[in-house]
Amino acid sequence: MKDALTNYVSLVAKVDELCSRIEGEFADQIACRSGCSGCCRHITLSWVEAVTLATALAALPPAEVEEIRHRARTASLDGACPLLANDRCALYQSRPIICRTHGLPILTQQDGTGRVDFCPLNFTGVDRLPGSALLDLDRLNTLLDSINRLFIAEAFDECPTRERLAIAEALLLDLDPTGDAP
């Protein structure tokens, strides 16, 4: 399983490096901090991210695992993320890419026009951002999709019938004892 996750781990490292650079360069413009959880919603994930979360969860002490799984079993699809405990992510080091980049300036293409978006608490009073401050979301999603397809081909005997899982479903995945995908 670890080999199948190698590409994803490399992508996460590159994303973290880019986010750290942006956060450092614009520290006075970024309000996101530990305990700020307003954007932490119950989202869906690709399989590679779901299995990464399930693997990280399995490494926690049993009591913590059960507490998180209880929240997952009772989570609402339109509610807060089931990983939130006291406004902090219980699996912060293994959080999905969208959680790593959320709030930072992202660039997307909409009807052939570039559109920049970021948390309304960030970059207040800023009229323009340099290109070096933007995360190209379309490119990032293309990379993640490719990595997810490779992961599925390596980790599953048969292709899953669903493309995405809710975070709660990821937290309830049963990985076999060798850590292989369900």
Q: How far apart, in whole angstroms, are the C-alpha atoms of residue 163 and residue 50?
A: 11
CB 134 within 8 A of CB 116: yes
The pLDDT assigned to 40 comes to 84
The pLDDT assigned to 178 comes to 54
Contacts 24+ apart (CB under 8 A), 173-181: 173/50, 173/51, 173/54, 175/1, 175/51, 175/54, 175/55, 175/58, 178/1, 179/1, 179/2, 179/55, 179/58, 180/1, 180/155, 181/1, 181/4, 181/47, 181/51, 181/155, 181/156
Name the 3-class secondary structure at 44. Answer: strand
The pLDDT assigned to 49 comes to 97
Minimal CA–CA distance to 90: which of 75, 77, 105?
A: 75
Q: Is 119 left (phi over 0), alpha (psi -120 to 50) or beta?
A: beta
Q: How far apart, in whole angstroms, are the C-alpha atoms of residue 19 and residue 167?
A: 22
The pLDDT assigned to 39 comes to 81
pTM of the model: 0.89
The pLDDT assigned to 83 comes to 95
Domain limits, the chain: 3-171
The pLDDT assigned to 74 comes to 95
The pLDDT assigned to 53 comes to 96
List the chain pLDDT tens, one digit each, 182 residues.
668 899 999 999 999 999 999 999 998 988 877 777 778 888 999 999 999 999 999 999 999 999 999 999 999 988 989 999 998 999 999 999 999 999 999 999 989 999 999 988 888 888 889 998 999 999 999 999 999 999 999 999 999 999 999 999 999 998 865 555 56
Q: Which two tokens stand for residue 25?
A: 């360069």
